[in-house]
Structure 1
């Protein structure tokens, strides 16, 4: 499928000003991203963003910086098949939930992470405005200036008001969104309240109408705010639309979201400049092919959906989401998604080719595994998993088959990489928690949290369960609940299972490590570890609590031995007394 012919690209004159103004310390953040890649500029657009940290929240500066930086990084990584509205909404929902959770994590220290947020995304002939709080976006055309956004403030009196909405304020984000059509020579102005509380709309309109460059206009407005007694931080972004593309891509984008499913590929076939080398994996849900880029010669993996789901819109959405999730995660222990710069003829995505053996096979080859080697691999898997959690994503289906072990030539150094995103759940993105499909649970039930079967979202603790199960297998070569867990279909089936002590499978496992593994795979969320870090800490070194348990067990054993010996002594004494009594009677 050929991309749209465009003889001219979007051209902008813009300037970003972010200054502490009349206030000590800067809690504002502002940034712009106009992609150099024509592909990104066409399909994702140019991004302009302003955020203002809420002063009453101690971590307001951190919140505004995090919001702007993360949005600028993550929005361009969303799939080309997503609309601007969907892409920005998904990214902002995850940012909001991240700030909200961090605020609650520091609730006792009053380190709330709250900020206002306004962004303008210019794509094709439109500007998409997303807004929460009291930062603002203005639109100027032909000498007239209009405020596009509405301040989310509640007024107690003429002089007293407070912020009613902000990023990080609530777990559910209420976001304003509007779209306006642009014309050449239109201007956009984004500002924090350090500007618009001290400079009137009339003065702003006059500055934008003066015909100055974006930089000169921003600097003039900043000077005017200071002259009017501004005692706050000031952020200003001025954007002058100098040239618009000569073709609107909306029709093409509609076609892109309806890309056909690819047929089964064979070695030697070519698609969009990629030559199929071999098939790496095939299932009823997806296919993996090793391909070579005809331009660069680089080898990579192409993942395609299964034609079995060509009419399943939920499946298609999840497949598209995989690419976005993978593109956001940056870790040496997670496979890298490769951004495409050529139009696609079919629905698929590309990722780096990771040579090695999957952990399932690696376990078969290397058992028994020395503890230090097992811990080395486990820590790398945990690092990859933590990269998911840092992006507010839960893997949900971690298992040895989804982990590749690479061996560095010459040194023999081993590296573990997570290579699958198919079941990932992103907090703040999913409308409803959807557990792993029953079809995909079967065969991997030994590693998936049993709570998924009942439709419960155990969040990070679900990934802890999978990691602890893998740890148990690394140290023992067995599974913590035995092979019967594969046969479980209902919650009552799991209720009948009992943890098998790791010491039974491997007597060399110390009691404190056995206790840590048992806690990691507990079906009870009140007992199970809540973070990967706490689990890793307890398997690296003895937890004093588990050592006390060992001492108590040892003490109980010694006490039992004492009473057994004492009872034996009295029994022997009784027999001797009876014997003497019989002799004397004789």
Structure 2
């Protein structure tokens, strides 16, 4: 099963590969192997990459072919149904984990529930080529090798255990246990790389030298290479099913090419606009905001009558490709988030002639404007704002996105009190950053609100956004910042650990000590010392944290004053009796 021709060519996004596949039942009556490959076109290729998958059914099971087909279809079809924002790792692990649970449940409901070797079980290897990175997933004894410059390298280790007498069995497989244990690794790609996926019916009967020879001799014809590998293994005495997949990487996207949709291709930056001007079907009403980076206008969609906010790049950044990429990515992100606390993209019904953003218009003020008028906020209002922002951030985190620039200027409050997160220009999208974590990340957020780990080049995480939200809560309660810009000047974890937290408690406000402890934990310089989740931080703002309660357990006199004084009285009475006894003894 495959969506494109066997020896297909993928030209979109700069990634070009050729794939060859071949399978035979061999000397067996039934072929329990299953394989597939998919080379999507244009946007899906850039967003999700090329996928190859090969599953090897086990000979002791009559239903293993069902497992093989289900697992491969999940890897090749369901994978493309996951969010573009998800990383390759999360997407593939999600679909394979789901099919593993289903196959295991099928076995448990069948007559084979007491004999896993006869159930819905198969070995599987899946390879995803995205951008300039290869992602490898593996469970079982399907083997993946790579040839570079004539040298063959085995990339997987067979999950087999030997039980004596020359016999072995799988220690890991799809459908084998309720939870799937899956090997995962990433590798940088190079033009000319050749990958081979082979079942044990092939790789157990071909030495590495024979594989390398065949791959080199058929270097320009992966389909012929796959057929030759199967034929050579069969001639060498293989008595199992035989399947081979060969993929050759012909070209890669340039190193600086964004692994996302080419959102701004062919579009010139929009010009500065003026009131009453009609632009791309929008009537400009007035300018809402202007800065050195962008201009935001209130406009009316003449087709629908909806009021929208148009964001156009500033003139001095019109030639900055990285900035324009991030600007267009904002709309891509907004269309993938569903939350009343995240700004929505305006639904577009006509083509765009220039590069700009069209977002929903919210009649309100930023939190920064509110804090200028009222630098210190009521505790209950702080809780309300934090809770709403946390719900918006959770929408990002569910899609494997991190905002990275949460600050009062990027929090909008409408006239009804609804809080929305705006400005997605610094958002980190895991699905667009699948480089294996090899590159240090650029700090894009505002220094005073950015988590300290980001200044060490570490990837921002959900706990980084939690830090920023903690700083905002601290600012609303105290009118100041916990560390200012000091964290940005520190370049080691040891230095950051010495950052001293200043309490928000003072004589002017009745702030509970446990709430201050919750803030101190949220803005801790070390990410593992913060709350584990946004929901925990929100809970801690309304309830004394359990660790704080444990440290500050009240004394007996405070918890049970009556028992305390009873104990004191009893102690005094016993002491008096001892004194009387001593006096009597002396007499």
The interval holding the TM-score normalised by the smaller chain is: 0.5 to 0.7
- State the partner residue of 1:436: 443
1:312 is aligned, of 317, 320, 333, to 320
- State the partner residue of 2:285: 277
Change in CA separation of 1:52 and 1:457 when aligned onto 2, cut-off 3 Å:
same
Contact 2:283 2:299 in 1 (8 A): yes
- State the partner residue of 1:456: 458
* Shift of residue 496, structure 1, vs aligned partner: 7.5
Matched, 1:406 2:414: yes
Moved more, 536-545 or 448-457: 448-457
1:170 is aligned, of 184, 192, 210, to 184
- 5 Å matches for 1:564-583? none
Matched, 1:352 2:360: yes
- 5 Å matches for 1:150-549? 169-170=183-184, 172=186, 257-366=265-374, 368-408=376-416, 414-430=417-433, 431=435, 432-437=439-444, 441=446, 445-481=447-483, 485-486=484-485, 490-491=489-490, 498-504=500-506, 507-549=509-551
Q: Deviation string for 1:101-137 (max 9, x for gaps)?
A: 999xxxxxxxxxx998899xxxxxxxxxx99879xxx
* Shift of residue 44, structure 1, vs aligned partner: 11
Give the whole-Å Cα distance in 2 for the aligned partners of 1:329 and 1:153. 37
Partner SS state of residue 505, structure 2: helix
Change in CA separation of 1:98 and 1:160 when aligned onto 2, cut-off 3 Å:
closer
Partner SS state of residue 387, structure 2: helix
Partner SS state of residue 405, structure 1: strand
Change in CA separation of 1:167 and 1:345 when aligned onto 2, cut-off 3 Å:
farther
Contact 1:100 1:169 in 2 (8 A): no
Change in CA separation of 1:133 and 1:522 when aligned onto 2, cut-off 3 Å:
closer
- State the partner residue of 2:19: none
Q: Which runs of 5+ in 2 are unaligned?
A: 1-33, 37-41, 59-66, 100-122, 129-133, 139-154, 161-165, 175-179, 192-198, 200-260, 558-587
Contact 1:132 1:167 in 2 (8 A): no
Partner SS state of residue 170, structure 1: strand
Partner SS state of residue 388, structure 2: helix
Give the whole-Å Cα distance in 1 for the aligned partners of 2:264 and 2:455. 35
Moved more, 346-355 or 333-342: 333-342
Contact 1:153 1:162 in 2 (8 A): no
* Shift of residue 545, structure 1, vs aligned partner: 2.0
Give the whole-Å Cα distance in 1 for the aligned partners of 2:380 and 2:57. 49
Give the whole-Å Cα distance in 2 for the aligned partners of 1:454 and 1:344. 40
* Shift of residue 486, structure 1, vs aligned partner: 4.2
Change in CA separation of 1:530 and 1:256 when aligned onto 2, cut-off 3 Å:
closer
Contact 1:67 1:95 in 2 (8 A): no
In the alignment of these two chains, the number of paired residues is: 387
2:81 is aligned, of 41, 47, 72, to 72
Give the whole-Å Cα distance in 1 for the aligned partners of 2:342 and 2:276. 29
Q: Deviation string for 1:533-584 (max 9, x for gaps)?
A: 22222222112321233347999xxxxxxxxxxxxxxxxxxxxxxxxxxxxx
Give the whole-Å Cα distance in 2 for the aligned partners of 1:254 and 1:511. 51
Give the whole-Å Cα distance in 1 for the aligned partners of 2:353 and 2:334. 21
Give the whole-Å Cα distance in 1 for the aligned partners of 2:452 and 2:278. 42
Query: Cα RMSD (Å) of the superposition?
Result: 5.4
Give the whole-Å Cα distance in 1 for the aligned partners of 2:56 and 2:536. 32
Contact 1:64 1:115 in 2 (8 A): no
Contact 1:286 1:306 in 2 (8 A): yes
Give the whole-Å Cα distance in 1 for the aligned partners of 2:296 and 2:157. 54
Partner SS state of residue 355, structure 2: coil
Give the whole-Å Cα distance in 1 for the aligned partners of 2:524 and 2:544. 19
Give the whole-Å Cα distance in 2 for the aligned partners of 1:536 and 1:451. 22
* Shift of residue 420, structure 1, vs aligned partner: 1.3
Q: Which runs of 5+ in 1 are unaligned?
A: 1-27, 31-39, 79-89, 104-113, 120-129, 135-151, 178-192, 194-252, 409-413, 556-586
Give the whole-Å Cα distance in 1 for the aligned partners of 2:442 and 2:92. 23
Q: Deviation string for 1:326-378 (max 9, x for gaps)?
A: 22111110011234332221111211111111111223445653322221221
Q: Deviation string for 1:386-436 (max 9, x for gaps)?
A: 11111111111101111111233xxxxx21110110111122422445333
Give the whole-Å Cα distance in 1 for the aligned partners of 2:263 and 2:412. 36
Moved more, 323-332 or 496-505: 496-505
Partner SS state of residue 325, structure 1: helix
Give the whole-Å Cα distance in 1 for the aligned partners of 2:432 and 2:44. 24
TM-score, with normalisation over the residues of structure 1?
0.53
Give the whole-Å Cα distance in 2 for the aligned partners of 1:66 and 1:546. 46
